[in-house]
Structure 1
Amino acid sequence: MTIKETLLKLSDKEKKEREKARKDFFFYLGETENKEAAIADNALLGQSWITLDDLDYVPSQVIDNKIKPLINKQARFMFGKEPDILFKPLDNKDKEVCEELRQYVDAILNASKFWSNTFKAFRLASVTKRVMLRLEANPGQPIRLYWHDINDFSYEVDPNDITKLNKATLVRQDTSTANKEQSEQIWYRYTYYMANKDDNEELSCYLKVETYKGSSLDIPINIEDKATGLSKIPCWVIANEQSIVSPHGQSDIKDLKPLQDSYNRRLSDFNDSLRFLMFGQTAIIDATKDTVNACNIAPNALMALKSMEDTEGNKQAKVQRVESNFTNAEPVKMYLKLLEDSMYEKLGIPKPESMQQVPSAKSIKYMYTELVARCEEKWHDWEPNIRSMLRLIVEACGKFNCYEDWNHEWDNLLYSIVLNKNYPIPEDEEDKKRLAMEEVVANVRSHRSYIKDFSDDEDYEKHFNEVIEDITIINAAEQDQFQQGIDDELDKGDNTGGDS
């Protein structure tokens, strides 16, 4: 039992679940890097396997990891391009203030490399079933956002609402003692929980910090229990594809593992078949053992063979060539292709060869329909937690003065949060721009709306005013030119009349 398992007080079921997640993660990585260590710990085998050592040859182990690139492709499609965050005010007069708040929160996320780390956390959750997002807020200090894998935390949910946390426990080691003996190591257990203390009717979040020494994990050497000042637990557990029957989530590689395992083994068998059958063999019949052993198998080599003694004189030494006839190549290739196609289908990812045959840009979008639908399902697990985290950032900044330039006018704003997903479908952006431009020309969409949606400039109002200013200057110039033309024509008419 590890120190983390002890401090997190995991049940036998939870330990087995984490061990399975560990095996899945190494399987996702592919071939083992240390087979000797993997013999003692089978989880380290990954996609490798242990072969019998009493054979006349060493069987091939060809590992062609298809799972890792597929999971990575799914993660890049989901979070490769970060979504756009919109704060939409309930009162139209707060529109500019809401935009200022959005830009400020966006800067906080960028400072913590939130979207980059979220991409990695999504990839990890796809394999190990769940991750935890944690917000750290202290008075006078910047907001920090952290992701934790399944082995770092445990949690309890509201029995009436599995998306609501009642308690979250996190275990961390004091890094300064990491290289010391276990008995000298220092460990911390952080427990966030909701309670109403001091006769307060409203629930608020508390943090209990327990310090342990590696030599005694039963009794803490120090305990601190204090209110965080926040209205909710600053932790969010995101379970991959959470459902009614799987409230703790499930791994995306569950259905891929048997396919990948079969693919590797058949590929290895195919490699062995090539080794044995792609070269012909020399067969010697009725020759003595000594002359056979003295033969030199080489191009144009002369074999001095002596026939075996036979009382009837029927045995005559012969040399012949046995050529192989490799006939199972096409069936094996078809089988491997079926396995690979099935893995792509399980994740809804278009196959590369199908993408090369699409006749138009609209067809490309159609090819991604299944993957888009799959990612939208995953957003049902991720989006509510991200929105809750954004609201807690605003609450913490207002209460703790985390930033000197924080505008407290933002504290009581009423707004809704929208996440616009940016899936990297090649034709999508250009089609949207073209359609939006046609709407502007037809006067069913405003210039301001077009600039807001498609401009890279954060201050779209300034951009809009610049466009209006340019249009005004251009119209004035055209009007001056038109007026000058009329004046010239009038002057010509007057001059002509005078000559008559």
Structure 2
Amino acid sequence: MIILIPDFIYSELVGPYGPDVLQRLGKIEDYYSIYNNGARFEVDTGGDYVPAKLPSKQIKKLVRREAQFLFGKSPEIKVICPDEVETKDGRPNESNMQTYLNKAFKSNLWRDKLIKGARDCLIGGRVALKVNVTEDKLSIMFVPADGFVYETALDDVDTLERIVFFYTMQDDADRSRQRIWVQKYRMEGPKCLLDERITDGYGETIEWDGTKQDYDTGLDRIPAYVILNDGLSGDTEGVSEIRDLMCDDAWYGRLKSGNIDSLRKGMNQITYMSGVDPSCMKSFRCAPGALWDLKGDLAQASDGGAPNVQVGTISNTFSYASAFADTESTIKQDMHDLVGVPDLNQESTRNVITSGKGLKTLYWPLICRCEEKMNAWGPALEWLAEMLLYAADVQPNLKNVYGAFEADKHVIMIDNQYPLPEDEDEEKQLDLSEVSNKTRSIKSYLTKWGGPNSKGMTPEEADAEIQQIAKEQQMMQDSFSAEPSPAGDE
């Protein structure tokens, strides 16, 4: 199925990049179909049986695993105010800004949306991160590649000049009865303007209370960020993981289906008979312990003698099994290598999974691939945090909803985390030995391993813990010195 883009959507964009994006937009729906149903392949229909056609859906497994590893543990988005003076309570305004962000993320179910947005980006080659700003709410959403088109500056593909979001509210064979929602953001000087309407399939505007034209959003930027998957310099559409995997997946499904047909037709022995009277065959039963009364066919007797009756079986040796397994394994490994996902079912990898370090070695290609993708996702997450903080300047009431703070010079830090177990006990012992050898401070150890569940402490918490340890040691020394001397001692 190829999605049809309404003609009027084409007219929303101008410039060198618009037509290229629109020409390829029709492929995206096909990529989603392959993701959900497996790559399409043809089977031989010339036999005397109905051939099996079982898509492998390896693509769906690989894309899900890649997204799970990338954002299964959501990155930490931290705000730091380096110029704020520290008090006994730390940096209060920095803490307030962090609370504001955390509440905004939690109310938007951010962790769930992030991993789903990553899947959309891997499938469609790009995804739009969008923020809706109202007086009392911040809405964060990811828009798949088949739901928007956009245009960048002529000499800077990193500068977004306009973006159009759209989806079909009501589909119909009659285009006049179709209903399509269209929302367009564009920059005019320092202002971000919004056009929003509902149209029919011909692009004619339908009367609607929410229609907007040249509406001033009050923002100085477009509240959307386009994230591209892989691609080359100057690319504005990204690269779908489906495109690289679909050929291998098609052959994998075709081989698997062919093997099923071979098993179906060859798993039972073929029984042959020679010189048997056809009339007696009607009483034969294929069952364990069955007794066949064989009668010779006199018509096949030679020179008036008794007919030569023969009964036998032909078994399928499945001599192709080794070649099939090797070919299937090669195709599957090629698919795993394309996305860097290790195949944990292989015998060669099972001996490696003995420790956190071994598992990290096994996942190293995927770690490198995810680090590469974070070069695109990291700036997008920084932009999102800045956008949420900036929205409170445009709509001050948002501070009453998510938490009050004072605008201040700040830095956004993105700390990505991968869901790999670590050899914590071994690392703790190594760090403790460094403390004992005085090559590491107690404070450094506590900031790394202290606190509940060994998640680490803040520098202030570590200082308080060190003071408490010193007090307890002093109390122990005082108690020893206060003990009475043995009887008879002066």
Report TM bin, short chain: 0.7 to 0.9
Letter of the 2:465 counterpart: V
Deviation per residue, 1:366-404 (Å, 9 max, x gap): 222111110011111111111011111111112211122
Distance (Å, rounded) in 1 between the aligned partners of 2:231 and 2:432: 40
> 1:109-258, aligned counterparts within 5 Å?
109-139=105-135, 141-172=136-167, 183=176, 187-196=180-189, 203-212=190-199, 214=200, 217-219=203-205, 221=207, 222-244=211-233, 246-258=235-247
The aligned residue for residue 482 of structure 2 is 484
Deviation per residue, 1:318-359 (Å, 9 max, x gap): 232132233121221121111112221111122213442025
Distance (Å, rounded) in 1 between the aligned partners of 2:32 and 2:3: 18
Q: 1:397 aligns with which of 387, 392, 397?
A: 392
> 1:40-51, aligned counterparts within 5 Å?
46-49=38-41, 51=43
Q: Confirm or deny: 8 A CA contact 1:72 1:123 kept in the other structure.
A: yes
The aligned residue for residue 14 of structure 2 is none
Structure 1 residues 433 and 157: CA distance shift in structure 2, 3 A: farther
Letter of the 1:67 counterpart: I
Letter of the 1:470 counterpart: Q
Letter of the 1:205 counterpart: C
Q: Confirm or deny: 8 A CA contact 2:340 2:365 kept in the other structure.
A: yes
Partner SS, residue 417 of structure 1: strand
> 1:6-45, aligned counterparts within 5 Å?
6-9=7-10, 14=21, 17-30=24-37
Task: For structure 2, list consecutive stretches of 5 or more residues without a partner in the other structure.
Answer: 12-17
Structure 1 residues 341 and 50: CA distance shift in structure 2, 3 A: closer
- The answer to which of 187-196 and 229-238 deviates more is 187-196
Distance (Å, rounded) in 2 between the aligned partners of 1:452 and 1:405: 34
Distance (Å, rounded) in 1 between the aligned partners of 2:144 and 2:95: 33
Q: Confirm or deny: 8 A CA contact 1:48 1:61 kept in the other structure.
A: no
Q: Confirm or deny: 8 A CA contact 1:436 1:450 kept in the other structure.
A: no
Distance (Å, rounded) in 2 between the aligned partners of 1:257 and 1:363: 31
Greater RCO, CA 8 A, separation 6+: 2
Distance (Å, rounded) in 2 between the aligned partners of 1:305 and 1:12: 79
**How far has the Cα of 1:185 moved from its partner?**
6.2
Q: Confirm or deny: 8 A CA contact 1:85 1:418 kept in the other structure.
A: yes
Structure 1 residues 223 and 308: CA distance shift in structure 2, 3 A: same
Deviation per residue, 1:26-51 (Å, 9 max, x gap): 21223xxxxxxxxxxxxxxx435565
> 1:310-349, aligned counterparts within 5 Å?
312-313=303-304, 316-324=307-315, 325-349=317-341
> 1:410-489, aligned counterparts within 5 Å?
410-411=406-407, 413-427=408-422, 442=438, 444-445=440-441, 447=443, 450-451=446-447, 455=451, 460=458, 463-464=461-462, 466-468=464-466, 470-485=468-483, 488-489=484-485
Distance (Å, rounded) in 1 between the aligned partners of 2:309 and 2:377: 75
**How far has the Cα of 1:478 moved from its partner?**
1.0
Deviation per residue, 1:445-470 (Å, 9 max, x gap): 56278437865689946643652453
Distance (Å, rounded) in 2 between the aligned partners of 1:62 and 1:406: 50
**How far has the Cα of 1:168 moved from its partner?**
0.8
Provide the aligned length of Structure 1 versus Structure 2: 466
TM-score where L is the length of structure 2: 0.84
Letter of the 2:196 counterpart: V
Structure 1 residues 281 and 458: CA distance shift in structure 2, 3 A: closer
TM-score where L is the length of structure 1: 0.82
- The answer to which of 292-301 and 186-195 deviates more is 292-301
Q: 1:374 aligns with which of 353, 358, 369?
A: 369
Task: For structure 1, list consecutive stretches of 5 or more residues without a partner in the other structure.
Answer: 31-45, 197-202
Q: Confirm or deny: 8 A CA contact 2:3 2:29 kept in the other structure.
A: no
Structure 1 residues 193 and 428: CA distance shift in structure 2, 3 A: farther
**How far has the Cα of 1:87 moved from its partner?**
2.2
- The answer to which of 366-375 and 448-457 deviates more is 448-457
Letter of the 1:340 counterpart: K
- The answer to which of 426-435 and 473-482 deviates more is 426-435
The aligned residue for residue 297 of structure 2 is 306
Q: Confirm or deny: 8 A CA contact 1:136 1:144 kept in the other structure.
A: yes
Q: Confirm or deny: 8 A CA contact 1:288 1:305 kept in the other structure.
A: yes
**How far has the Cα of 1:223 moved from its partner?**
4.1
Partner SS, residue 403 of structure 1: helix
